[in-house]
Amino acid sequence: MSDTKPPHITLDNFWPYQAVVLADQISRYTLSVVRAEADLNLSQWRVLAAIAEKPGRTAANVTAITPMDKTIVSRAVSSLIEAGLVIKAVDSGDKRRSSLSATASGQSIYANIAAKLNEAMISSLSGTISPEDFTEMLKVFSRKMVDIAPYLKP
Amino acid sequence: MSDTKPPHITLDNFWPYQAVVLADQISRYTLSVVRAEADLNLSQWRVLAAIAEKPGRTAANVTAITPMDKTIVSRAVSSLIEAGLVIKAVDSGDKRRSSLSATASGQSIYANIAAKLNEAMISSLSGTISPEDFTEMLKVFSRKMVDIAPYLKP
DNA sequence: CATTATTTGTTGCAATTGCAACCTTTTTCT
DNA sequence: AGAAAAAGGTTGCAATTGCAACAAATAATG
């Protein structure tokens, strides 16, 4: 289908690498906000966000939508519970799983940080690209992920 | 300028988070290829790539184009030298810096892994979006991050 | 020129992560 | 039903990272 000559690949024109660099910047920025607003690390923040935005998720659910493995989620949940931001309720039908939800305090911290992150990201968009175009780009991004997935779990 | 109602943010519609998830998948896939082809970790691979694609770079140069801090680069360079993939030449004009370059063995490993990664990523794009469009998209993303940068280094 | 500040790179140490092994509870298979 | 396999979580340990403190060399300043 394509007989285009293989282009010379360097880090700065290899999109997967650029995506990694970008994500690293996003993570560092996020971490700085999270640290300024609460005593949490990035993993804990991600788990709290996943639970707060949709109460009732189990650890496995959180693992599925997150770039963390179950080890990290398990530890993050423990510390969030200890910190009083999350509570765990063992499922009555299946004693292996527990549904997680944020306490009032957890919800409040989540809402506060989410608002700050959202504001920063939104403002970074203004004047560069329309929200519609950006949404379109995001869809492409997501599709990429699906395409790449088969390579990922060999 | 904008009085659009604040949308409800969740992880799956918050683009910075999606970018992080995508990057994580890319990194994991890259690591699997790197491990299959050489005895290197991700940091070592990134440093090797940076040096092999443009010989003469210093550790500071590598740090600048990479999502790693100088600590990690320093350690990666040490191990790459020890493994015989990279050599270091102290700059005659400025004895603090050393210009780095890949040995024949380092070049060969680099070329091999880069080709495999490139092939996989290209094929993952086919039929969804052209590499050019995708690169364009990434540029927009990068510009975003430049906008955010002021928030980043407080 | 002497002193102070910057740049380049390295090292120690604590925090975070990744992997594998493991325990329980369900599910599947015969 | 009973045995084997799978799912949901947890824990130990080694590898990797991040941060701060340092040393050495060069640049900047009075």
Q: Is residue A2's pLDDT more than 50? A: no
Measure A84 CA to nearest chain B CA, in Å. Answer: 22
Interatomic separation, CA of residue B74 and C1' of nucleotide D22, rounded (Å)? 15
**Yes or no, beta carbons of B29 and A147 under 8 Å apart:** no
**Yes or no, beta carbons of B118 and A24 under 8 Å apart:** no
**Yes or no, beta carbons of B125 and A145 under 8 Å apart:** no
Interatomic separation, CA of residue A101 and C1' of nucleotide D9, rounded (Å)? 17
Chain A to chain B, count of Cβ pairs less than 8 Å apart?
Answer: 162
Query: Could you tell me what percent of chain A has a pLDDT over 90?
Result: 48
Mean pLDDT of A51-70: 92
Q: Tell me which residues from 71 to 130 on chain A have a beta carbon below 7 angstroms from nucleic acid strand D.
A: 71, 74-75, 77-78, 94, 96-98
* Residue for token pair 């992080």: B20
Mean pLDDT of A29-56: 93
pLDDT digit string (tens) for B138-148? 666 555 544 44
Q: Return positions of chain D under 7 A from a protein CB.
A: 7-12, 15-20, 24-27
pLDDT digit string (tens) for B83-133? 999 999 999 999 999 999 999 999 999 999 998 888 877 666 555 556 666
Q: Give the pLDDT confidence score for residue A79 in this predicted structure.
A: 96
Estimate to the nearest angstrom the gap between the alpha carbon of B127 and the chain centroid: 25
Q: Give the pLDDT confidence score for residue B136 in this predicted structure.
A: 65
Tell me the CA distances in angstroms from A132 to A128, A136, B16, B19, B72, one per residue in order: 12, 6, 16, 17, 39
Mean pLDDT of B11-32: 81
Q: Give the pLDDT confidence score for residue B8 in this predicted structure.
A: 61
| Closest C-alpha among A32, A110, A49, A40 to residue A79 | A40
Chain A positions in Cβ-Cβ contact with residue B30 (cut-off 8 Å): 16
Interatomic separation, CA of residue A68 and C1' of nucleotide D6, rounded (Å)? 21
Q: Is residue B7's pLDDT more than 70? A: no
pLDDT class for A151, splitting at 50, 70, 90? very low
For residue B142, the chain A residue with the least C-alpha distance is: A22
Interatomic separation, CA of residue A73 and C1' of nucleotide C5, rounded (Å)? 45
Measure A93 CA to nearest chain B CA, in Å. Answer: 28
Read off the pTM: 0.84
Q: Give the pLDDT confidence score for residue A138 in this predicted structure.
A: 60
Distance, in Å, from the CA atom of B24 to the CA atom of B98, rounded to the nearest integer, reads 32
pLDDT class for A119, splitting at 50, 70, 90? confident
pLDDT class for B153, splitting at 50, 70, 90? very low
Q: What is the mean pLDDT of chain A?
A: 80
Measure A52 CA to nearest chain B CA, in Å. Answer: 10
Mean pLDDT of A76-88: 96
* Residue nearest D7, CA–C1′ metric: A96
Q: How close are the terminal C-alpha atoms of chain B, in Å?
A: 26
| Nucleic strand D near CB of residue B153 (< 7 Å) | no
Distance, in Å, from the CA atom of A124 to the CA atom of B144, rounded to the nearest integer, reads 6
